[in-house]
Structure 1
Protein backbone atom coordinates (compact mmCIF):
# COMPACT_ATOMS: atom_id res chain seq x y z
CA UNK A 1 0.00 0.00 0.00
CA UNK A 2 1.18 3.55 -0.73
CA UNK A 3 2.42 5.58 2.25
CA UNK A 4 -0.07 8.41 1.68
CA UNK A 5 -2.96 5.96 1.53
CA UNK A 6 -1.72 4.13 4.63
CA UNK A 7 -1.50 7.34 6.67
CA UNK A 8 -4.99 8.27 5.54
CA UNK A 9 -6.32 4.77 6.37
CA UNK A 10 -4.94 4.82 9.90
CA UNK A 11 -6.31 8.35 10.43
CA UNK A 12 -3.14 10.40 10.74
CA UNK A 13 -4.51 12.71 8.04
CA UNK A 14 -8.08 13.74 7.32
CA UNK A 15 -7.77 13.41 3.55
CA UNK A 16 -5.46 11.51 1.27
CA UNK A 17 -4.54 14.74 -0.49
CA UNK A 18 -3.24 16.23 2.78
CA UNK A 19 -1.17 13.08 3.36
CA UNK A 20 0.25 13.37 -0.17
CA UNK A 21 1.22 17.01 0.42
CA UNK A 22 2.92 16.09 3.69
CA UNK A 23 5.03 13.51 1.84
CA UNK A 24 5.98 16.05 -0.83
CA UNK A 25 7.01 18.57 1.82
CA UNK A 26 9.28 16.03 3.50
CA UNK A 27 7.27 15.55 6.71
CA UNK A 28 7.15 11.76 6.31
CA UNK A 29 10.09 9.37 6.70
CA UNK A 30 10.11 5.58 6.40
CA UNK A 31 13.02 3.77 8.03
CA UNK A 32 14.86 7.08 8.38
CA UNK A 33 14.51 8.19 4.74
CA UNK A 34 12.19 10.89 3.43
CA UNK A 35 9.78 9.37 0.95
CA UNK A 36 7.54 10.22 -1.96
CA UNK A 37 3.79 9.59 -1.67
CA UNK A 38 4.01 6.54 -3.94
CA UNK A 39 6.44 4.66 -1.63
CA UNK A 40 5.11 1.22 -0.70
CA UNK A 41 4.71 0.41 3.01
CA UNK A 42 5.20 -3.06 4.46
CA UNK A 43 4.70 -4.54 7.94
CA UNK A 44 7.58 -3.79 10.36
CA UNK A 45 8.39 -0.48 8.61
CA UNK A 46 9.17 2.41 10.97
CA UNK A 47 7.38 5.63 9.99
CA UNK A 48 8.10 9.10 11.35
CA UNK A 49 5.37 11.71 10.82
CA UNK A 50 6.03 15.39 11.59
CA UNK A 51 2.67 16.98 12.45
CA UNK A 52 1.72 19.84 14.80
CA UNK A 53 5.34 20.23 15.94
CA UNK A 54 5.43 16.60 17.11
CA UNK A 55 7.43 13.78 15.55
CA UNK A 56 5.08 10.81 15.70
CA UNK A 57 6.89 7.47 15.54
CA UNK A 58 4.91 4.42 14.52
CA UNK A 59 5.50 0.88 13.40
CA UNK A 60 3.38 -0.76 10.71
CA UNK A 61 1.81 -3.94 12.09
CA UNK A 62 -0.54 -4.77 9.21
CA UNK A 63 -1.94 -3.20 6.05
CA UNK A 64 -5.66 -2.26 6.16
CA UNK A 65 -7.89 -2.91 3.15
CA UNK A 66 -9.74 0.41 3.55
CA UNK A 67 -9.90 3.36 5.96
CA UNK A 68 -10.55 1.99 9.44
CA UNK A 69 -12.54 3.32 12.37
CA UNK A 70 -10.76 5.07 15.24
CA UNK A 71 -11.18 2.08 17.55
CA UNK A 72 -9.51 -0.29 15.06
CA UNK A 73 -6.43 1.82 14.29
CA UNK A 74 -4.27 0.06 16.91
CA UNK A 75 -4.60 -3.22 15.01
CA UNK A 76 -2.66 -1.76 12.08
CA UNK A 77 -0.02 0.39 13.77
CA UNK A 78 1.93 0.66 17.01
CA UNK A 79 2.44 4.21 18.27
CA UNK A 80 5.92 4.67 19.76
CA UNK A 81 5.82 8.45 20.18
CA UNK A 82 7.58 9.44 23.42
CA UNK A 83 5.46 11.15 26.09
CA UNK A 84 7.97 14.03 26.23
CA UNK A 85 6.83 15.15 22.77
CA UNK A 86 3.29 15.72 24.00
CA UNK A 87 4.55 17.52 27.13
CA UNK A 88 6.62 19.78 24.87
CA UNK A 89 3.46 20.61 22.89
CA UNK A 90 1.64 21.55 26.11
CA UNK A 91 4.49 23.89 27.04
CA UNK A 92 4.37 25.50 23.60
CA UNK A 93 0.64 26.12 23.94
CA UNK A 94 1.08 27.65 27.38
CA UNK A 95 3.84 29.94 26.14
CA UNK A 96 1.64 31.14 23.28
CA UNK A 97 -1.06 32.17 25.77
CA UNK A 98 1.32 34.74 27.26
CA UNK A 99 2.80 35.85 23.96
CA UNK A 100 0.97 39.17 23.63
CA UNK A 101 2.03 41.70 26.24
CA UNK A 102 -0.69 43.91 27.71
CA UNK A 103 -0.88 47.30 26.04
CA UNK A 104 0.87 46.23 22.86
CA UNK A 105 -1.01 46.28 19.61
CA UNK A 106 -4.70 46.09 19.02
CA UNK A 107 -7.01 44.88 21.78
CA UNK A 108 -8.34 41.37 21.49
CA UNK A 109 -12.06 40.70 21.30
CA UNK A 110 -12.13 39.95 25.03
CA UNK A 111 -10.22 43.16 25.80
CA UNK A 112 -12.70 45.14 23.71
CA UNK A 113 -15.67 43.60 25.52
CA UNK A 114 -14.09 44.42 28.89
CA UNK A 115 -13.54 48.01 27.76
CA UNK A 116 -17.14 48.26 26.52
CA UNK A 117 -18.47 46.87 29.81
CA UNK A 118 -16.35 49.32 31.79
CA UNK A 119 -17.44 52.22 29.58
CA UNK A 120 -21.13 51.36 29.86
CA UNK A 121 -20.81 51.07 33.68
CA UNK A 122 -19.24 54.54 33.95
CA UNK A 123 -21.88 56.02 31.62
CA UNK A 124 -24.65 54.63 33.82
CA UNK A 125 -23.13 56.29 36.88
CA UNK A 126 -22.84 59.66 35.04
CA UNK A 127 -26.45 59.42 33.87
CA UNK A 128 -27.62 58.84 37.47
CA UNK A 129 -25.70 61.94 38.65
CA UNK A 130 -27.53 64.22 36.19
CA UNK A 131 -31.00 63.16 37.36
Structure 2
Protein backbone atom coordinates (compact mmCIF):
# COMPACT_ATOMS: atom_id res chain seq x y z
CA UNK A 1 0.00 0.00 0.00
CA UNK A 2 1.31 3.43 -0.92
CA UNK A 3 1.63 6.22 1.61
CA UNK A 4 0.26 8.74 -0.92
CA UNK A 5 -3.29 7.34 -0.47
CA UNK A 6 -3.93 9.55 2.55
CA UNK A 7 -2.51 12.70 0.92
CA UNK A 8 -5.33 15.09 0.10
CA UNK A 9 -5.69 16.05 -3.56
CA UNK A 10 -6.29 19.71 -4.28
CA UNK A 11 -8.52 19.83 -7.35
CA UNK A 12 -8.57 23.14 -9.21
CA UNK A 13 -12.37 23.48 -9.03
CA UNK A 14 -12.34 23.01 -5.24
CA UNK A 15 -9.41 25.39 -4.85
CA UNK A 16 -11.08 28.15 -6.94
CA UNK A 17 -14.17 27.81 -4.74
CA UNK A 18 -12.08 27.87 -1.53
CA UNK A 19 -10.12 30.91 -2.79
CA UNK A 20 -13.47 32.67 -3.41
CA UNK A 21 -13.13 33.24 -7.15
CA UNK A 22 -16.53 31.54 -7.67
CA UNK A 23 -19.63 31.32 -5.48
CA UNK A 24 -20.06 27.58 -6.03
CA UNK A 25 -17.82 24.70 -7.00
CA UNK A 26 -20.08 23.91 -9.96
CA UNK A 27 -19.62 27.47 -11.29
CA UNK A 28 -15.86 27.01 -10.97
CA UNK A 29 -16.04 23.68 -12.83
CA UNK A 30 -18.19 25.25 -15.55
CA UNK A 31 -15.70 28.11 -16.03
CA UNK A 32 -12.85 25.59 -16.30
CA UNK A 33 -14.79 23.55 -18.87
CA UNK A 34 -15.42 26.70 -20.93
CA UNK A 35 -11.71 27.51 -21.00
CA UNK A 36 -11.93 30.57 -18.73
CA UNK A 37 -9.28 29.17 -16.40
CA UNK A 38 -5.78 28.16 -17.52
CA UNK A 39 -2.99 26.59 -15.46
CA UNK A 40 0.52 27.49 -16.60
CA UNK A 41 -0.91 28.51 -19.98
CA UNK A 42 -2.80 25.23 -20.54
CA UNK A 43 -6.52 24.49 -20.59
CA UNK A 44 -7.34 21.93 -17.91
CA UNK A 45 -10.21 19.85 -16.55
CA UNK A 46 -11.94 20.52 -13.21
CA UNK A 47 -10.23 17.49 -11.61
CA UNK A 48 -6.72 18.86 -12.39
CA UNK A 49 -4.55 18.67 -9.26
CA UNK A 50 -2.99 22.02 -8.33
CA UNK A 51 0.48 22.54 -6.89
CA UNK A 52 2.05 25.48 -5.07
CA UNK A 53 3.71 27.74 -7.63
CA UNK A 54 1.20 27.09 -10.44
CA UNK A 55 0.26 30.20 -12.41
CA UNK A 56 -3.43 30.65 -13.17
CA UNK A 57 -5.30 33.00 -15.46
CA UNK A 58 -8.93 33.31 -14.38
CA UNK A 59 -11.49 35.16 -16.50
CA UNK A 60 -14.57 35.82 -14.37
CA UNK A 61 -17.31 38.12 -15.74
CA UNK A 62 -15.53 41.27 -16.99
CA UNK A 63 -12.40 40.70 -14.92
CA UNK A 64 -9.21 38.76 -15.51
CA UNK A 65 -6.93 37.66 -12.69
CA UNK A 66 -3.36 36.47 -13.20
CA UNK A 67 -2.25 34.77 -10.00
CA UNK A 68 0.33 32.45 -8.47
CA UNK A 69 -0.81 29.71 -6.10
CA UNK A 70 0.81 30.16 -2.66
CA UNK A 71 -1.19 27.69 -0.56
CA UNK A 72 -3.57 24.80 -1.16
CA UNK A 73 -6.95 24.24 0.46
CA UNK A 74 -10.27 22.57 -0.29
CA UNK A 75 -12.06 24.34 2.56
CA UNK A 76 -13.85 27.63 1.93
CA UNK A 77 -13.18 30.14 4.68
CA UNK A 78 -13.36 33.89 5.14
CA UNK A 79 -12.17 36.27 2.42
CA UNK A 80 -9.08 37.24 4.45
CA UNK A 81 -8.04 33.59 4.70
CA UNK A 82 -8.78 33.02 0.99
CA UNK A 83 -6.50 35.91 -0.01
CA UNK A 84 -3.55 34.07 1.55
CA UNK A 85 -3.95 31.21 -0.97
CA UNK A 86 -2.64 33.26 -3.91
CA UNK A 87 -0.70 36.33 -5.02
CA UNK A 88 -1.96 38.43 -7.91
CA UNK A 89 0.62 39.86 -10.29
CA UNK A 90 1.03 43.64 -10.21
CA UNK A 91 0.24 43.90 -13.93
CA UNK A 92 -3.02 41.98 -13.45
CA UNK A 93 -4.05 44.21 -10.54
CA UNK A 94 -3.38 47.38 -12.55
CA UNK A 95 -5.36 46.13 -15.56
CA UNK A 96 -8.30 45.29 -13.31
CA UNK A 97 -8.21 48.75 -11.66
CA UNK A 98 -8.29 50.40 -15.10
CA UNK A 99 -11.28 48.26 -16.06
CA UNK A 100 -13.11 49.10 -12.80
CA UNK A 101 -12.56 52.82 -13.43
CA UNK A 102 -13.80 52.48 -17.02
CA UNK A 103 -16.92 50.59 -15.94
CA UNK A 104 -17.72 53.23 -13.30
CA UNK A 105 -17.73 55.99 -15.93
CA UNK A 106 -20.26 54.16 -18.12
CA UNK A 107 -23.91 54.95 -17.44
CA UNK A 108 -25.88 52.23 -15.70
CA UNK A 109 -28.43 50.54 -17.96
CA UNK A 110 -32.05 51.43 -17.19
CA UNK A 111 -34.19 48.32 -16.97
CA UNK A 112 -37.94 48.32 -16.62
CA UNK A 113 -40.05 45.35 -15.86
CA UNK A 114 -43.71 45.86 -16.79
CA UNK A 115 -45.74 48.79 -15.50
CA UNK A 116 -44.24 51.27 -13.06
CA UNK A 117 -45.40 50.92 -9.48
CA UNK A 118 -47.41 53.68 -7.87
CA UNK A 119 -44.25 54.95 -6.20
CA UNK A 120 -42.29 54.84 -9.48
CA UNK A 121 -45.10 56.66 -11.28
CA UNK A 122 -45.09 59.45 -8.68
CA UNK A 123 -41.31 59.81 -9.03
CA UNK A 124 -41.65 59.98 -12.82
CA UNK A 125 -44.38 62.63 -12.56
CA UNK A 126 -42.28 64.63 -10.05
CA UNK A 127 -39.24 64.40 -12.34
CA UNK A 128 -41.20 65.51 -15.42
CA UNK A 129 -42.91 68.41 -13.63
CA UNK A 130 -39.57 69.67 -12.22
CA UNK A 131 -37.87 69.60 -15.62
CA UNK A 132 -40.68 71.24 -17.62
CA UNK A 133 -40.96 74.41 -15.56
What TM-score results when the alignment is normalised by the length of structure 2?
A: 0.71
Larger radius of gyration: 1
> Following superposition, which runs of at least 4 residues in structure 1 exceed 4 angstroms of deviation?
108-114, 118-121
Cα displacement (A) at 1:79: 1.8
1:5 and 2:18 equivalent?
Answer: no
The aligned counterpart of 1:86 is: 97
Unaligned runs of 5+ in 2: 1-9, 111-115
CA contact (8 A) 2:39 2:55 kept: yes
Q: CA RMSD in A?
A: 3.0
Unaligned runs of 5+ in 1: 101-107, 122-131
Distance 2:126 2:35 in 1: 49
What TM-score results when the alignment is normalised by the length of structure 1?
A: 0.72
Distance 2:53 2:16 in 1: 15
Query: What is the total number of aligned residue pairs between the two structures?
Result: 115
CA contact (8 A) 1:63 1:76 kept: yes
The aligned counterpart of 1:62 is: 71
